[in-house]
Amino acid sequence: MTTAVDPEAGARAREAIYAEGITALRGAFSVEWVDRMRADIETAFTDARQRPGGAVGRGPNRWYVEIHPEQMSGFVDLVTHPWVMAVCTAVLGADYRIVELGFDIPFAGAVNQPWHRDFPMPEVTRREGRLDSLAFNLTGVDTTDEMGPFEIAPGTQFDDEPDFEHGMFPPRARYGRYEQLAVRKYPQRGDISARSALTIHRGTVNRSEVSRPVLVLGVDAAGGTNSDKHDLAVTGEFWATLPAAVRDHLSCPIVDRLTPITQKHTIEGLVMGDA
C-alpha cells in the first residue's frame, strides 16, 4: 500500500470536490491488495444473493450490496490511508463518520442508468453551500470502455432540484446539459476516487462479458444523516483490533454477532435503467 501523501493533498482535494464534484488518487493501493478486495466482494455477493434483501437492483444486471467492515480484509488499510483521512478531514471536518461500506457490480448486459444523484440535497448544502458527505470508490478491475464505465457531470453537485423526481432524478429535458458535461472515468486497480454523491452521474452500458465491481465507502460530516440508510455493525472482537484512528470515526453498533444486512438504500428510479 502506498502511504506517502503530500501534506497539501487534503486541501487540493477539497478544492476539486467543491469545484468539480470529484477527485482521485492514482496508485493508492497495490494490485495485489485490490485483488484481495475483489475476492472479498465476490464472496459477499454470492452470500447476499442467497438471501432475501441481500442485494438490491440498481438497474438490469446491476446490483448493490452493503457489507460489514470485517467482511473486507483490507478495511483498516482503506480507512487509515493517509489520502483518505486527509480528504475526509479537509472536506468533512475532524469529526467525520464512516457510515457505509458496500459495492456496486454491473454485469454483462447492464444498461445506462438514468442521470441521478444518490440522495436528495441536504438542507445544509442548499442553504450554506456546504457538502456534508463523501463517497470513495475503488475499482476491482482495470476499467475499459466496454465495461460500462462510470460517467459523471462535473460541477453539478450544487444543482438545485425543484423539479428533480424524488429530489434525485433530473427531468429528461435537462439530459442535454449532463451529456454535454459528461466525463467517463477509467480507473485502474489501485486507484481511488472521492466524490460528492450529489454530483449528477450514471453507470453506462456494460458491453463486455465481465463484471465491473466497485467498492463504495461512505463518510459523513458530524451531523450528517446518511447513516439512516445503512446498517454497519462490528463485533466486539473486531472492535478490539481496531486502531484509535478507526474507532474515532466508525459510527456503528458493537454487537456480539453480525446479522447479514438487508439493504435499506434502495433507489427505485434505478431499477429499470434508462428505459
Comparing CA positions, the residue from 41, 25, 60 lying closest to residue 275 is: 60
Give the HSE-up count for residue 174: Cα atoms under 13 Å, Cβ half-sphere. Answer: 18
Closest CA to 140 of 101, 191, 64, 202: 191
Residue 176 lies in a domain: yes
Residues 129-170 pLDDT 10s:
999 999 999 999 999 999 999 999 999 999 987 899 989 999
C-alpha count within 13 angstroms, C-beta hemisphere, residue 106: 26
Grid cell of 268 as nine digits: 427505485
Whether residue 18 lies inside any domain: the answer is yes
Please report the DSSP string for 3-54 in residue order. ----TTHHHHHHHHHHHHSEEEETT-S-HHHHHHHHHHHHHHHHHHTTSTTS
For residue 4, being part of any structural domain is answered with no
Q: What does the pLDDT read at residue 270?
A: 58
| Residue 273 located in a structural domain | no
pLDDT at 2: 45
pLDDT in tens, 193-231: 999 999 999 999 999 999 999 999 999 999 887 777 788
Q: 250: domain CATH number?
A: 2.60.120.620
Give the pLDDT score at 271: 47
Question: Based on the number of CB atoms within 10 Å of its own CB, is 4 exposed (0-12), middle (13-18) or buried (19 or more)?
Answer: exposed
Stretches in the chain below the pLDDT threshold 70: 1-5, 7, 263-275
Count the residues in the chain. Answer: 275
In a domain? residue 165 = yes
Domain extent at residue 253: 9-265
Q: Residue 42: name the closest of 217, 188, 212 by CA.
A: 212
Count of domains forming the chain: 1
Residue 3 within any structural domain of the chain: no
Element at 246 (helix H, strand E) = helix 244-247
CA 230 vs. chain centroid, Å, equals: 13
Domain contains 2: no
Cα distances from 7 to residues 78, 96, 178, 257, in angstroms, run 18, 19, 34, 40
182-to-55, 153, 154, 175, 204 alpha-carbon distances in Å: 28, 4, 7, 10, 11
